Amino acid sequence: MSFSLPLKDPVPIFSLVLFIILLAPIILRKFRIPSIIGLILAGMAIGDHGFKIIEKGSIDLFGNAGLLYIMFLAGLELDMTEFRKNRHRSMVFGAFTFFIPLVLGYLLCTYVLHLSLMASLLISSMFATHTLVAYPLASRLGITKNEAVTVAVGGTIITDTAVLLILAIITGAEQGNLNTAFWLKLGISLAIFTVIVLWGFPAIGRWFFKKIKDDKTSHFIFVLALVFLAAFLAELAGVEAIIGAFLAGLALNQLIPHTSPLMNRIEFVGNALFIPFFLISVGMIVDLRVLLKGPEALIVAGALTAMALLSKWLAAFFTQLSFGYTATQRNVIFGLSSSHAAATIAVVLIGYNMGIINENVLNGTIVLILITCMVGSFVTENAGRKLAIREAEKKPEIAGGPEHFLIPIANPERMESLLDFALMVKNPANAAPVYPLVVVQDDEEAKEKIYISNKMMEKAVIHAAASESNVQVVTRVDLNVTDGISRAVKELLISDVVLGWSDKNSATDRLFGNIFGTTTDNVLQSVWETVYVCQFLHPINTTKKLVLVLPQNTEYELGFTHYVQKIILLAKQAGARVVVYSGARTQAAVQRFVTEAKASVELTFKKLDNLEDFLVLARNVSGDDLLVVVSARKGTLSYQPYLEGIPGRISRHFKDNNVILVYPEQRTTENNEPGMQEGDITLRPIQEQLMNINRIGKAVKRIFKGGEKRNPFEEEDAQ
């Protein structure tokens, strides 16, 4: 085999690029230089304009895939509830970051550089576009949920779409095809493309994930195939492929939970392979020798670069003024939106090939790409760190101490779904492990059963490792399963217990099966922490709507805020809206908690004063909905006799649905009984007495302050 430069054989090319991806970030990290810059500089060195180590075009396939991957991840990692809530802000930023560069760029090109009308329009539209080169930095810093990042990403797709439509119009005008047929074709094709991706892809994805449940490799390939299909359909519709990749991310956003193994695989492959290839390919385009071709090239390059950065900073500044963002958030928006790469290259190369712009503008644009990518990366890195620190400081303390999840396993087939549920509702900031538990009965076959159970639990460890989650398997030998679970809860300081729904026929056995062995009370009267009993017939990520049923007085239970917080987190992870069925007082308590916690969730309330109307829900619950019913232990404030028959009714009327029964945390007495028994006192006297005490207190306060004298009992009960 002969060895010559530039390299043409894919084996040494791939080997060299992998070593660059490995070493460049490690070396530049010592100099506090973002890894993105190192990859771009490495691309400059090995490319056609550097030492000519790699032949031009040899990594274009991976480079293009990396650009699509960046746009796909941007859509996939968006908090869709926040995105919908801030869509107007994204539109405002999109307008600023489109029109300000467009207008200022046109003035520069027309009155300073003295370019033609078409050239001025083309270059000014190039100023308006930008590429999310620095988005991986924001993702690594964990600030993608911040409103500044959400607005920047939303504005990116708006301005890039507008620019690429302008490019299509300019191209049509130059070719003489700008007629009614052109506009009609463009409008119809874009409409069909949007419907296929935003409505067709979720339906196809939901069907696929339901049918192919256990093949994780197929899940990844399926998602990747949809991304590139969407990119291809975008090109057929007359716009750039990056628009299709971003819309594919939005379409699949609700089907891929952020804590799932699939999401981990998607991010890993992108950050390890595709995105670095794209950054290296960007560096290979840069030609610093253009600066040596005379003063005109320097003037054009300087003018273009200065205008590109100034106009994007002004767009971020006016967005800050419009919505009251901090200077750090403004800098994050500027850092993300200041990098010019992919769409800019597409615009300039098309203009150059059509003879609209000359070589000086082309070379100046190459310098612009290098400088803006470096500036965007530095600004995003520095401002992102400050924003990440502030976000961490603002996070509320979780009441009740650290969370520890226990998952007693009786059926290995349900293990993965129960583990996925626990990881989805577990606080992401909590580093405590999840504990899968196997309880072995203490008899002559105990040793053999322990060995078999340990082999079975290896599957749980492997599954959790795919999502980089901390799992610690626990095995207990006890006289019976109930005692084993109860002791594990105490020893491990468990806060939440996740159980599987049995396939037995009777209501009680169906609920607890092999786990509890006798009756419901055996576990619920010995484990007072929050208990979830789960029936998962379909993957949780296929959930369209989460239906939450709350009994009367549940807002007065000790564990109310804890399980509401978990259900909201589950809805966000599953990308589902929440419909709450409860009484008016309970609805007010849920709304108050959501407001105080500033939780971004799409919440709808339906009145259900009497649980005996429970079966009315059946007509409003589809097969893609997740039914969550909050029950109660006997003798607690929210307990109602009707709740005892809920498991049987669910088994008959919701047998094809994913179902979760929640038993809230309770405080126990020395006799291991509920701290407040049914019949001792009722809720209405409690509420009335508390209100009376509150009114008297306010009246006394006004008297001491010399306030207006009036009857403290004139106020009406808001409830």
pLDDT in tens, 536-573: 888 888 888 999 999 888 888 888 999 999 999 898 88
List Cα–Cα distances, 522 to 91, 194, 482, in angstroms: 56, 54, 7
| DSSP secondary structure, 390-445, as one string | HHHHHSPPPTTS---EEEE-S-GGGHHHHHHHHHHHS-TT--PPEEEEEEEESSTT
The torsion angle over the Cα atoms of residues 642, 646, 652 and 653, rounded to 10 degrees, is: 90
Cα separation of 213 and 207, whole Å? 10
- What pLDDT is stored for residue 261 in this prediction? 83
DSSP reduced 3-state for 639: coil
Question: 658 Cβ partners below 8 Å, 6+ apart?
Answer: 534, 535, 536, 537, 538, 540, 543, 625, 626, 627
Q: Which helix (H) or strand (E) holds 318?
A: helix 295-323
pLDDT at 717 over 80: no
pLDDT at 223: 94
8 A C-beta contact, residue 376 and residue 338: yes
pLDDT, residue 139, reads 79
Cis peptide before 428 (omega within 30 of 0): no
- Name the DSSP letter for residue 86: T
Q: What's the pLDDT at 330? A: 93
Residue pLDDT, tens place only, 102-158? 999 999 988 888 888 888 888 888 888 887 778 878 877 888 778 888 888 888 878
Cα–Cα nearest to 348, from 329, 333, 363, 334: 363
Is 453:492 a contact under the CB 8 Å cutoff? Answer: no
Percentage of the residues of the chain whose pLDDT score is greater than 70:
84
Bridge partners of 606, per DSSP, are 581
Per DSSP, helices labelled H in 466-501 are: 481-491
pLDDT of residue 316: 93
- What does the mean pLDDT of the chain come to? 80
Helices within 86-238 (DSSP H only): 87-111, 117-128, 135-141, 147-174, 180-195, 201-211, 216-237
Residue 669: pLDDT over 60: no
| Higher pLDDT pick, 440 / 288 | 440
**Local confidence band at 389 (pLDDT 50, 70, 90 cut-offs):** confident
Residue 682, CA distances (Å) to 553, 562, 677, 685, 688 in order = 10, 23, 10, 6, 11
For residue 626 the two structure tokens come to 């997740």
Q: Coil, strand or helix: which one is 472?
A: coil
pLDDT at 520 exceeding the cut of 70: no
pLDDT classification of 184: cutoffs 50, 70, 90: confident
HEC per residue, 435-464: EEEEEEECCCCHHHHHHHHHHHHHHHHHHH
Over residues 467-481, the pLDDT tens digits come to 777 888 888 888 778
Q: If DSSP codes are grouped into helix, strand and coil, which group holds residue 355?
A: coil
d(CA 361, CA 373): 18
User: Is it the case that residue 690 has pLDDT exceeding 50?
Assistant: no
pLDDT (tens digit per residue) in 210-242? 888 777 789 999 999 999 999 999 888 877 787
Candidates 691, 571, 556; CA nearest to 636 is 556
Instruction: Please determine, for residue 396, whether its predicted confidence score (pLDDT) is greater than 90.
Output: no
99: pLDDT strictly greater than 90: yes
Token readout for 125 is 């539209």
> CB-based contacts of 485: which residues, under 8 Å, 6+ apart?
406, 408, 437, 439, 476, 497, 515, 523, 526, 527
Percentage of residues of the chain with pLDDT beyond 90: 17
Strands 658-663 and 530-535, sheet pairing = antiparallel
* Range of lowest pLDDT (241-250, 453-462, 646-655): 453-462
Kindly report which listed range (196-200, 387-391, 643-647) carries the lowest average pLDDT score: 643-647
Q: Give the sheet arrangement for strand 434-441, strand by strand.
A: 474-478, 434-441, 405-408, 496-500, 530-535, 658-663, 625-630, 545-549, 577-582, 603-607
pLDDT tens string 241-291 = 877 888 898 899 888 887 788 888 888 888 888 888 888 887 787 777 766
The model's confidence at residue 715, banded by pLDDT at 50, 70 and 90, is very low
700 pLDDT band, cuts 50/70/90, is: low
Residue 291 three-state SS? helix
Residue 54 DSSP one-character state: B
Alpha carbons 438 and 451: distance in angstroms, whole number: 11
Mean pLDDT of 24-35: 76
Q: How would residue 374 be classed by pLDDT, with cut points 50, 70 and 90?
A: confident
Higher per-residue pLDDT: 460 or 23: 23
- What the block records as the tokens of 467 is 């999502």
> In the predicted model, is pLDDT for residue 51 greater than 80?
yes
pLDDT at res. 346? 65
Give the pLDDT mean for 407-415: 78
pLDDT at 511 over 60: no
Query: Rounded to whole angstroms, how far apart are CA atoms 37 and 27?
Result: 11
Confidence of residue 186 (pLDDT cuts 50, 70, 90): confident
Pairwise CA distance, residues 138 & 339, whole Å:
14
Most confident of 415-429, 445-459, 580-594, 600-614: 580-594
Tokens of 431: 């580093």
Asked if 106 and 121 count as a contact pair (C-beta separation under 8 A), the reply is yes
d(CA 114, CA 357): 12
pLDDT for 93 equals 92
Q: How do residues 344-360 score in pLDDT, each as one tens digit? A: 766 776 777 777 887 77
The residue among 281, 334, 355 whose CA lies nearest residue 47 is 281
Q: How far, in Å, CA of 517 to CA of 623, rounded? A: 30
Q: Tokens representing 102?
A: 């467009």
Q: Which of 129, 491, 68 is nearest to 266 (CA)?
A: 68
Cα Rg, the chain, nearest whole Å: 30
